[in-house]
Structure formats: structure tokens, C-alpha cells
Structure 1
Amino acid sequence: MKISKIPYYIFILLTVASCSSGQPFQLREVPSKITSEPIEKGLAPIKDIQMYYEIHGKKDGVPLVLLNGGGSTIEVTYSRILPLLAQNRKVIALDEQGHGRTTDRKGPVSFETSAEDVVALLQFLKVEQADIFGFSNGASVALNVAIRHPKLVRKLVFASSITKREGAYPMFWNFMKNATFENMPQALKDAFLKVNPDPQKLHTMYEKDAARMRNFKNLSDKDIRTVGIPILILLGDKDVPKLEHAVEMVRMIPKARLLILPGGHGDYLGEAIMSQGKDRYPELTSALVQDFLDSP
């Protein structure tokens, strides 16, 4: 990991093999820019917040739910890969509590409360079962959904996150001790303000995300081992989570698979904040993730 990128990687986390079904894998020739307009979007009344959501792609089938990284919006985390995923399936994307267009509530933000918000949104949309793709903090939320509501989740993609404090490098926790709003990359601030032009809400979101990671609590091995669904552990080879931690998870979860792709935190998604739009990482990641989701 390059030292110059450490603050960005750390904030995303705080704010943070092949999965083949037997068919030969080939990258398709695709247009240089694929876009996806939502077929439905709105604010769902979820307990004491209004949760922003979008539905893309097909109108039926088992939906794929996308959970954004901490400090991010749908657009920051998934703008490049979402249109690729929506070509073949129904995709539901959302902004977490206090992020982007979703309102906030009193009290802290936690992985547990955000997991229950996701469950409530799926109930609102009358979804009985879904696949979930969570990135960074969104992956921690997704895993909590699977543990707390196992019948609701068919398959899970756990991308670039941790279940234990020791799963991240010591430099992450050292940075967290003195992290400030000024450390948040300007690109993330701009992305938030583009969809929610309230600087105070942006600052509050940062402070709550920072507190969530400073107070990060390990998931118990017992809870992790209860995950009986197929799960794809996905990360970059220069990511924030340790590769050893991903291997540990794969060995602990009966139906887990491991996929390691080149790059750092979010590179394989073509995250808007990092990508220059010149690589094919999102296409590669999309194809491998969909292969995992479509496999028996």
C-alpha cells in the first residue's frame, strides 16, 4: 500500500481464485460508458428515517442489494459497476443512514441498526429474499443482515471489510486515534454535497462514521460460523483488510469462496473517487460476481 494513499484507504474503510460455474470466463467487448437509469426511486419510511433507494435493471427475479461504503453515496461506490450488474438482474441500491439522501436519526450509527434498516427496506419493497453486495462498511452491514436474518439472504458478497480489529493493519487504528473531518478526501465531501447540500449533515455523518470505527467490536467466531449461505470474500491484493484475515474467514464459513483482485481499496469497483475510467476492473469484477451469484 502506498503511504500517500493511506488516509484515503483508511477513511473509506472507516467511513470503513475463481468463482466459476464451470463455464470459461471471457471479458466481453462493451461500450466505453454504460449508464443505468433507475426504473424506480424514492424515500422509504424506515422506522424514524427516510431511506433513499433506487431500483435498476429487471423488474423481477432475486434482487441484488448494493450497500455503499462508509462516507460514500451510491454514486461514489457503485457508479461504474452498477450499470453492468443491472444489465442482467434487478439491482436495489441505497444510501445508509445519514449518508447522501437518507435522513439521520438521533444517536450513533452502527452496523446492527443499519442492518435492520436494510431489512426494513426490503420488507417495504416486498422482497422475500435477496442477494447482498456490501463494500467496506457496507460489507459489515451485509454480514450483520445475514447473521440476524439468515432466511432473507440467498448469497452474500463481502468486499473489503473486517470482522475483527486485528483484521486491519495497525496503521489503520493508529490513524483513527487522531482522525479529523479535515482528513476526509475533498472528493467524498463534494459527492455528499452534490446530493445533499447541507455541510452540517456532512460533518455529522463523518463524526458518526468515525465513532463507529473507533468503537469497532469484533464479531464472535460463533456468529460468523452460523453463516450457512454461499459468501464471496472479495478484496484487493493491496487492500486495507489483511489477506490473512480473508483467508481466516474463508476457513471459518462453510460455503465461503475467496477472490483477490489487483489493486487497493475499491480499485476493483472503479470507485468514482479513484478511477480515471481507463481500466476494465469494473467489468472484470462484475462478471466474476455475477458468475458467483448465478452458480448453483
Structure 2
Amino acid sequence: MIAISLLSGLGFAPGLAAPLTGAGHAKIGPLSMYYEVHGAGKPLLILHGGGSTIQTTFGAVLPTFAAQRLVIAPEQQAHGHTADADRPLSFGQMADDTAALLRQLHVGKVDVLGFSNGAGVAIELSLRHPELVDRLVLGSIYFRRDAIRPELLAAFRQATPDSMPETYRTAYLDVAPNPGDLANLTPKLIDNLLTFEGWSDAQLGSITAPTMIVQAHDDVAPLEHVVAMTRAIPNAQLLALPGGHGSYLGEAMAAIPGSRLPTYATGIMLDFLNAK
């Protein structure tokens, strides 16, 4: 159960099904899982990238989404305000943690926007807990490890805790309950990536949520791979954009100063999510 003090802090009242606004922690298995709630309207779950926080992935566009939606933004195991636990990181486990959070919040079916690592979590959420997912936006995704650009895959194989970009490192240390856990984060993320075989065409074909895939020109996987993924998911749409990994969200490592790309991209995503 979520603590009574947390319910009060989020604006809960007896009989009210969903939080109004705020931040808190929920007990999810071994985790004290941090999450934020912004705005009002139909719930939109946003899932951050690997090694990131809510703010480093979505800080630039969160107000735009919250102007139209009740935005639910968790931080996964070992990320941001959520401490690590004695278990690996995997897309499936993070999806199960997220599903447990949604059930605790009693928000019903949600739209989902996942970016990068968070898009992998979003796919697993739609496969493992389809009853929780309405519409699905997958940003900067790949569905097989061998589709990752070779130079990036080689860099991932060599990654160490010291490889974390300073932007992410600073954001982590600013909010982490146990800063020493930073040493475990990169190895766990890389282990998940390097042991991930992918999703089969049959698995992708079983996704029932209306889906939009968003991919940048200079992204983790080539556009041809994402076109194939779009064809494998029933009735999926593809949005291909200029820029790099996350620039269309104004992501902290990829934001282009003065660019209107996040404004255009979020507008298109919201049009898709708001469609009848």
C-alpha cells in the first residue's frame, strides 16, 4: 500500500481514483519507486531513457504534455530518485514494476510514451499487461540488438561507469538516495542491452494498441530497421524526424538550442494520442 502521507501529498481524497498533482514513492517489490504526476485529463505514462531521469529525458516537453494530459512519470530501478535493488535490470522487470505502479494509482488504461530504453519498457508493458495500455508511442526504438549501429554497439561493449556522460552523472547525483549505486547502473544497463535478443515478428504482431514509432535521422538504429518494425506491428504509423537521438524531445544530451523540433514533434504525438 502507498503511505497515507503520500496520498495526502498527491492530493488524494477518500474515494478519489487518481492523483491530482505531486510526487512520491510507491512500494513496488523491493523498490521504493519514485514517480511524479502532472496536469489533468486522460492518463499519459512517460518512460525515460536508460541512465536518465524524468527531467533529462522529458524536462523540455513535460509541460506541453501536462497541459492536455494527466502525466504519470516514474523513475525506474537505479534511476534518479529510485534506489537500486539486488536484481538485474531488464525491460520485462521494469515493465512489471511500472504495471504495479499503475495498479496502485488506480488510473485504469493509459496511453504510453517511451523513449529509448523506456520504449523497450513500453513494448514489454504492452505485451505483458495489454489491459493497461491504450495508445503507444515508441521513441528511438530497435527490436533486435543486431540492428544497433555497429559503432554504437562497439561503444556499449566498452562502456564502464566512468563512461556515463557528465549531464546524466550530475542529474543522477543531484537526486539519488544512494549516490554510490551509480557504479552499478551502467553495468546493469549494458548487461540488459547485450543479452537482449529482441522481439519476434509474432510478438510485435500481437500488439493490439494503436502505435506510433518516432525515429530520428541519426538514431540508435537505421530507419530501414524501424520501417520493418512498423510493418510488423498491426496498424502502426512511423514518424521520421531530423536530428539525433532525442533531439525531437529536447532531451538533455541532444537538445538543439533554439530548435522548434520538440514543439512540432509533441504536437504530432498529441494528435495521434488524442485521436478517437
- Residue 210 of structure 2: aligned partner: 230
3-state secondary structure, aligned to 2:262: helix
- Residue 74 of structure 1: aligned partner: 54
Deviation at 1:177, TM superposition (A): 2.2
3-state secondary structure, aligned to 2:138: strand
- Residue 24 of structure 2: aligned partner: 42
- Residue 17 of structure 2: aligned partner: none
Query: Alpha-carbon deviations, 1:229-259, whole Å to 9, x = none?
Result: 1100101011111101110011111120000
- Residue 125 of structure 2: aligned partner: 145
- Residue 118 of structure 1: aligned partner: 98
Q: Are positions 1:54 and 2:28 aligned together?
A: no
Q: Are positions 1:263 and 2:247 aligned together?
A: no
3-state secondary structure, aligned to 1:124: helix
Within-5 A mapping of 1:1-296: 39-58=21-40, 61-196=41-176, 198-275=178-255, 277-296=257-276
CA distance, structure 1, for counterparts of residue 73 and residue 141 of structure 2: 19
Q: Which residue identity is paired with 1:54? A: E
Q: Tell me if structure 2 keeps the 8 A contact 1:62–1:129.
A: no
CA distance, structure 1, for counterparts of residue 178 and residue 45 of structure 2: 27
CA distance, structure 1, for counterparts of residue 31 and residue 89 of structure 2: 12
Q: Tell me if structure 1 keeps the 8 A contact 2:161–2:185.
A: no
CA distance, structure 1, for counterparts of residue 198 and residue 213 of structure 2: 17
After superposition, the Cα gap between the structure-2 partners of 1:255 and 1:276, relative to the gap in structure 1 and judged at 3 Å, is closer
Q: Percent identity?
A: 41
3-state secondary structure, aligned to 1:290: helix
CA distance, structure 2, for counterparts of residue 295 and residue 152 of structure 1: 18
Q: What TM-score, normalized by structure 2, do the two folds share?
A: 0.90
3-state secondary structure, aligned to 1:151: helix
Query: Alpha-carbon deviations, 1:242-294, whole Å to 9, x = none?
Result: 10111001111112000011101011000123325421122111101000001
Q: Could you list the runs of 5+ residues in structure 2 that have no partner in the other structure? A: 1-19
The higher relative CO (CA closer than 8 Å, separation ≥ 6) is in 1
After superposition, the Cα gap between the structure-2 partners of 1:169 and 1:276, relative to the gap in structure 1 and judged at 3 Å, is closer
3-state secondary structure, aligned to 2:45: strand
Deviation at 1:198, TM superposition (A): 4.1
Q: Tell me if structure 1 keeps the 8 A contact 2:144–2:199.
A: yes
Which aligned segments of 4 or more residues in structure 1 are displaced greater than 4 angstroms?
Answer: none
Query: Alpha-carbon deviations, 1:84-139, whole Å to 9, x = none?
Result: 11111111111111101012211211000000011000001002100000000000
- Residue 11 of structure 2: aligned partner: none
Q: Tell me if structure 1 keeps the 8 A contact 2:96–2:125.
A: yes
Query: Alpha-carbon deviations, 1:35-63, whole Å to 9, x = none?
Result: xxx822100111110110111011xx430
3-state secondary structure, aligned to 2:92: helix
Cα RMSD (Å): 1.4
CA distance, structure 2, for counterparts of residue 67 and residue 197 of structure 1: 20
CA distance, structure 1, for counterparts of residue 144 and residue 225 of structure 2: 8
Q: Which residue identity is paired with 2:187? A: E
After superposition, the Cα gap between the structure-2 partners of 1:145 and 1:197, relative to the gap in structure 1 and judged at 3 Å, is closer
Query: Alpha-carbon deviations, 1:9-30, whole Å to 9, x = none?
Result: xxxxxxxxxxxxxxxxxxxxxx
Deviation at 1:141, TM superposition (A): 0.3
